[in-house]
Amino acid sequence: MKLMIKKSDLLNTPCDKYDNLPDGKFDAIEEIANRGNHIGHVSWLITNCKLAQTPKMLAYFKSLNPLAYNVYLLILYCKFAQTPKMLVYYRSLKPSVENVQSLITNYKFAQTTKMLKYFKSLNPLAEDVGSLIKNCEFTQTIEMLEYYKSRKPSAEDVSWLIKSCEFARTAEMLEYYKSLNPLAEDVRWLITSCKFTQTAEILEYYKSRKPSVEDVSWLINRCKFTQTIEMLKYYKSLNPSVKDVYWLIRHCKFAQIIEMLEYFKSLKPPIKEIHWLISHYKFTSKRRHNETNDKKE
């Protein structure tokens, strides 16, 4: 096999290994062979040289026993290799689930019913299916969501998908999420990171999961949606310790109100902690907080 080319026939500059290419015509195959006959170099040549985009060169490429990943890269970056025959050859090399998922995501030619069927035949994990749905609009269908559920995703998987993919933000998916009995901390994470779930209904569901004092404190501190007088009342109902209340007041500006300071005092903390809080924070009244919220609305 020979392929006579000049440097000017290359669309891009080869790597440093090829700095000493002849100025005139040279046999590209021989030059690659002299440098170890690396399959990746042959793939690069086909991608970057029109003269190398022939059935003979593809046959030569295959003769080097490429891995599925090598074929994946060639298909991804070289339009000449984007053919149904190459996809068949690619599948024959038993690519990994992650590799097939990436190909479908990044390459429209691979976004076919046939390739999706092949992806499923590899028994992907729920997280692989979730990643495909998130990153590939072609797979954002009701059928794929049902297939995703059939892969038995964890509550954490589903919360990630709802947060990351607008297509998955539906009432049905939220009900499915609840059916998995997520931990309070997972529901808290979803409320904090996904505006779609910031509803009174989900907040009540969160409470039903029996969150810890620390969990509720973290939620109030990090999520403006939960910064309400009602949530502070709920927080108190959990009987937080002196240390817990001290932490919330210090870290959450919303909790720096006179009512919370009075509540903190009622827990009989050390006097020095009360003095420290008063000297470092400006406490406002409950009424002022309500007026501020009204203005925002």
Q: List CB contacts of 166: < 8 A, sequence separation 6 or more.
A: none
Q: What is the pTM of this model?
A: 0.80
The single-letter DSSP state of residue 89 is H
CA distance 27 to 33: 10
Give the model's pLDDT for residue 271: 85
Q: Which amino acid is at 243?
A: K
* DSSP string for 259-270: HHHHHHHHT---
Q: Whose CA is closest to 197, among 149, 163, 232?
A: 163
Q: Whose CA is closest to 97, among 140, 70, 132, 63?
A: 132
CA distance 28 to 30: 5
A 10 A CB-CB count for 45 gives: 24
**Digits of tens for pLDDT over the chain (297 positions)?**
889 988 888 888 887 777 778 888 988 898 888 877 789 899 999 999 999 999 999 999 999 999 999 999 999 899 999 999 999 999 999 999 999 999 999 888 899 999 999 999 999 999 999 999 999 999 999 999 999 999 999 999 999 999 999 999 999 999 999 999 999 999 999 999 999 999 999 999 999 999 999 999 999 999 999 999 999 999 999 999 999 998 998 889 998 988 988 898 898 888 888 888 887 877 887 644 444 444 444
Residue at token pair 């069927």: 117
Q: List CB contacts of 126: < 8 A, sequence separation 6 or more.
A: 148, 151, 152, 153, 154, 157
CA distance 47 to 234: 63
Helix (H, G, I), strand (E, B) or coil at 26: strand
Return the domain boundaries, the chain: 181-297
